[in-house]
Amino acid sequence: MSCLDCSCILRTRVESIGAEKQSGGRSYQDLTDDPTVCWAESTQIEDEKISWSCDVSHYDLQVEIGRGCNNLTSVYLARHIPTGTPVAIKITDLERCSDEHIKALQNEVVLSRSFRHPNIMTLWAVFTAGSWLWIISPFMAYSSASNLLRNYFPEGMNEALIGNILFGAICGLNYMHQHGYIHRSIKASHILISGNGLVYLSGLNHLYSLISSGQRLKTVYDFPQFSTSMLPWLSPELLRQDMYGYNVKSDIYSVGITACELANGHVPFQDMPRTQMLLQKLKGPFYRPWAVSSFPRGESRIKNSRSGIDSGIGESMTHTMTSERLQTPSKTFSPAFHNLIELCLQQDPEKRPSARGLLSHAFFKQVKEQTKGSLLSLLPPAIQHTQPQGPGVCSAATWNKTGCLLPNEREIPWKF
């Protein structure tokens, strides 16, 4: 079965990005100036067609599941009241956002509307309430691959699970590369998994277009203001910031680091001082980062997260699995997996395969032969989040155009 365009995963048509779509988005200066900005789509969910609205009274905020943008954005598990459908809602205070944050939001929203691919996260509605931007998106029952590592596979995943997760993410990445975009933020927390076992690539706020004045650039030199926490995943050439620039192959390096992250439950370089990490990346690793185990053998690292979430688009999962099921079956990886990572982490970007080339790698042969739903057999059951008892979050009923103070009733361990 050929699946290089990945449309077969959902039997969903993969649409191209027209020029009118790439240039048709509103700027976020418009959003801050015009309180009536709204767009919403209709979505077919199972047998029901849902028309999403731009009315805050149609959404019941239930529990905060994540934060981002230096705490300017809060993410909530919510319920679409007319249909009862669970959704994720990101609420951002635009007045407090810097120009860099505004640009990141613009990238995420405009490109999410433009991309049409079954492995790329989509948005259902975007609107403003006063100076607050509301973004309505699908609810991911399994949250992110990073959340799965932290709560269920702290010593790393097995090859079958890694292969399924990476294959879906690379399918989405290949689509972006084909249309001239560099993702620049590939990592486990930006790979989301739905309740029916489908993989979505998110984190579109740092995307960069190679298309300029109708021409496709071979290299770019833009260096966004990444959080230092993102550095372990970034390629040497992107960090180097020299005259040679970087291109889509920088994402392939990040795929390699993400593969190590999934295999070990530990991000390579993350325990190094930043200066040492930069030197190590620029010189090339003197060790194999995928062979470094993050935890001592025999020591249990299973622990409950207070929110159980880290991608901002997921749910807390009940920790009821047995210790036997939580263990990774084996820490011995195949030659094909080692080869995949070696190719991705080549110091010379020209020696790295393309995203399309990666999808043909021998490591993914078994994934391409599997039937739909195979990923679910490798995951714990997804338990629906229930509405908390007692004082809750700011409900839509109390929201007004001047905004609402969002609660801070407990620590949120992950910031996206």
pLDDT of residue 372: 65
Do 131 and 188 lie in one domain? The reply is no
Domain count, the chain: 2
Residues 6+ apart with CB under 8 A from 8: 1, 2
Torsional sign, CA 255, 258, 264, 268: positive
Tell me the one-letter amino acid at 152. Y
Say if 7 falls within a structural domain: no
Give the CATH number for residue 300: 1.10.510.10
pLDDT in tens, 264-323: 998 888 888 888 888 888 887 554 555 544 333 333 333 333 333 333 333 333 333 333
Do 209 and 352 sit in the same domain of this protein? yes
Whichever domain contains 56, its CATH number is 3.30.200.20
For 12: left if phi > 0, alpha if psi spans -120 to 50, otherwise beta; the answer is beta
- In the DSSP assignment, the letter for residue 192 is E
Tell me what the pLDDT averaged over the chain comes to.
75
374 pLDDT higher than 70: yes
Enclosing domain of residue 290: 145-378
Beta carbons within 8 Å of 236's beta carbon, 6+ residues apart: 253, 281, 282, 284, 347
Residue 231 included in any domain: yes
Domain identity same for 186 and 334: yes
Pick 298 or 396 by higher pLDDT.
396
**Beta pairing class for 59-68 and 73-80:** antiparallel
User: How far is 368 from 15, CA to CA, in rounded Å?
Assistant: 22
CA–CA gap between residue 11 and residue 343 (Å, rounded): 30
70 and 156 assigned to the same domain = no
137/123 Cα distance (integer angstroms)? 5
- Of 349, 170, 173, 341, the C-alpha closest to 249 is 349
Q: Are residues 112 and 125 in the same domain?
A: yes
> Do 366 and 267 share a domain, yes or no?
yes
CA distances to 126, 142, 198, 333 from 101, rounded to whole Å, are 16, 27, 29, 40
Q: Is the pLDDT of residue 8 over 60?
A: no
Q: What angle do CA 234, 235, 241 make, to 5 degrees?
A: 100
Q: Is the pTM of this model over 0.85?
A: no
| Residue 322 and residue 186 share a domain | yes
Report residue 118 as tokens.
């079954």
What does the pLDDT read at residue 3? 43
Is residue 122 located within the same domain as residue 226? no
Q: 130 with 241, same domain?
A: no
User: Bigger pLDDT: 305 or 49?
Assistant: 49
